[in-house]
Amino acid sequence: MPAPRRYLFSLLCMLIACGASATTIVIIRTPNLIVIASDSKAQYQGDQGNPQVCKIARQNETYFVVAGLAHDTYQGFLANRTVASAIARANTFEEQANAVEEDLGRELGKELDTLRKEDPEGFRFAVTGEAPSSIALVTVEGGVPKVAVFSFLFDKTTGKLSVRRDSCPGTCTGEDFYVQLGRAVSADEVVKVTGSPTRVARALVEMQIAKDPQNVGPPIEIMELRANGPEWIQDELNCAAETNTRKKYPHSLTVQF
């Protein structure tokens, strides 16, 4: 009997996002499949919203996740709305990625500047880690699974925001790609997990929930994306039915994503 395949891909572990993120998201990309698994726990500063939220969102045929600062209704910053709007006005996946990088970088920069001046406590809450926000986009274009990851890095010395972008195909060194956003399982623990991409993604989220239940929690949402469309493997919150129409948010500064 052959040994189980070990899905230890080109490792891009976004540990930099851990400090401020009340989330754990795993994305695994192979030549014919993308798997996204996420926890569902939200954290708020201010008025409290739903304790469990969908963290896998969709605009057109592109799915996206946000780790870190999700929205600040006091200032009108809504990361998922900005991302969805950027995706909607672009055509190709590359154009969508460029639009998201430009739009969210601009809006996040304005949000941090405002917080620094008007809400020092909220500012400290938002920049606990090196990356106040990390975004991932995934789709299948021309039969090819594609992933783009953006880390919006904040330099506490200069106060400047920069962006690091990774993609597959693109910057990945092989056909397989793996990334954790938010709170991440260590590389030493990852190598011990074997099985299919979906099993690995589920196991890594379960491990992080067990390790850090105050910041991340169930239910686990899991979606597989192939050329013939998405399949929700676990969807207790009915995230498949969520749309990017205008939503009402509690008045809060939120790191729910």
Residues 188-224 pLDDT 10s: 888 889 899 999 999 999 999 999 998 899 999 999 9
> pLDDT value at position 45?
65
SS3 state at 134: strand
The answer, yes or no, to whether residue 24 has pLDDT greater than 70, is: yes
User: Could you tell me which CATH number the domain at 10-236 has?
Assistant: 3.60.20.10
Q: Which two three-digit tokens encode residue 10?
A: 């080109």
Helix 79-88 with 93-118: angle, nearest 10 deg: 150
SS3 state at 78: strand
Write out the H or E segment, with its range, that includes residue 25.
Answer: strand 24-30
Domain boundaries, the chain: 10-236
Q: Which residue has the higher pLDDT, 104 or 9?
A: 104
134-177 residue pLDDT tens: 999 999 999 999 999 999 998 888 888 899 999 999 998 888 89
> pLDDT value at position 53?
86
Q: Can you give the pTM of this predicted structure?
A: 0.84
The answer, yes or no, to whether residue 68 has pLDDT greater than 70, is: yes
SS3 state at 238: coil
18 band by pLDDT with thresholds 50, 70 and 90: very low
Is the CA virtual torsion 34, 126, 105, 48 positive or negative?
positive
69-115 residue pLDDT tens: 877 777 788 898 999 999 999 999 999 999 999 999 999 999 998 88
User: How far apart (Å, rounded) are the C-alpha atoms in residues 241 and 128?
Assistant: 33
Asked which of 8-12, 200-204, 228-232 is least confident by mean pLDDT, the reply is 8-12
H runs (alpha helix) in the chain: 79-88, 93-118, 120-126, 187-190, 197-211
**Contact between 87 and 96 (Cβ < 8 Å):** yes
Order across the sheet with 161-168: list the strands.
57-59, 62-68, 133-141, 144-154, 161-168
48-67 residue pLDDT tens: 677 888 999 999 999 999 98
> pLDDT value at position 136?
96
> Using omega within 30 degrees of 0 as the cis cutoff, is the peptide bond preceding 145 cis?
no
